[in-house]
């Protein structure tokens, strides 16, 4: 993430260090706000909950970036499960998205958790009436930078090709912004 003001200090030029820290924080906040707004628009367009995760630089973690559901309580619950990020090696429903870079669709029948679900995902699916999940990789310039998903609650209808096309289109746009966040963060946290 961004550096603290202390990490950005330039001993020879304190104003420069202060400005760098302020700008780094502003860019990080603005890009995350943009990604949150994009995820909200996806949710509205799809009529389903939406999530966006960023792949860590080492390729092991899918860190939460944004989630949206029309019910703020559900958004909070989704965000909480996203905070329990799992290493890619045991990412459950995300495994084929990350490892094989392909779209996946899961139909979730009441009382039956998909075998691929991680322990954290299974607990969430047991607690909330999820009926379908659609996940796709988020790429930029041939690199995997994250994953995005649509989640349907209570409505017993699986995701279809139109839903997948919508999510793939979103992923292409989100990939550009996630890559920009990654590049900016990497560049500006290392030039201390």
| 3-state secondary structure labels for all residues of 4-37 | CCCCCCCCCCHHHHHHHHHHHHHHHHHHHHHHHH
pTM, whole model, 2 decimals? 0.83
Between 118 and 7, the more confident residue is: 118
User: Does 98 score more than 60 pLDDT?
Assistant: yes
What pLDDT score was predicted for residue 57?
83
Distances from the Cα of 150 to the Cαs of 2, 41, 46, 54, 170, in angstroms?
Answer: 29, 12, 8, 15, 11
What pLDDT score was predicted for residue 10?
55
Distances from the Cα of 33 to the Cαs of 7, 30, 67, 106, 154, in angstroms?
Answer: 24, 5, 12, 29, 28
Q: What pLDDT digit, counting tens, does each position of 2-24 carry?
A: 333 344 455 678 899 899 889 88
Q: What pLDDT digit, counting tens, does each position of 44-61 carry?
A: 999 999 999 999 888 888
Q: What is the dihedral of CA 97, 123, 120, 90, to 10 degrees?
A: -50
Which of 51-65, 84-98, 113-127, 174-188 tops mean pLDDT?
Answer: 51-65
Whole-number average pLDDT of the chain: 85
Kindly give the residue spans of alpha helices, DSSP state H, lying in the chain.
Answer: 14-46, 72-83, 95-99, 119-127, 161-190
């Amino acid at each position: 993430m961004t550096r603290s003001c202390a990490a950005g200090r330039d001993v020879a030029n304190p104003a420069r260090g202060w400005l760098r820290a302020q700008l780094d924080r502003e860019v990080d906040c603005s890009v995350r706000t943009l990604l949150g707004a994009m995820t909200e628009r996806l949710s509205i367009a799809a009529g389903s909950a939406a999530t966006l995760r960023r792949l860590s630089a080492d390729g092991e973690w899918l860190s939460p970036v944004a989630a949206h559901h029309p019910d703020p309580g559900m958004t909070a619950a989704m965000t909480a499960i996203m905070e329990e990020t799992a290493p890619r090696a045991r990412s459950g429903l995300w495994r084929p998205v990350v490892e094989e870079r392909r779209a996946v669709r899961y139909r979730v029948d009441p009382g039956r958790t998909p075998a691929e679900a991680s322990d954290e995902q299974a607990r969430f699916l047991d607690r909330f009436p999820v009926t379908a999940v659609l996940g796709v990789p988020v790429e930029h310039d041939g690199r995997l930078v994250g994953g995005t998903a649509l989640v349907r609650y209570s409505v017993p209808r699986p995701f279809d090709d139109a839903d997948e096309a919508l999510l793939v289109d979103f992923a292409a746009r989100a990939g550009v912004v996630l890559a920009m966040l990654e590049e900016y963060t990497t560049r500006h946290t290392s030039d201390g």
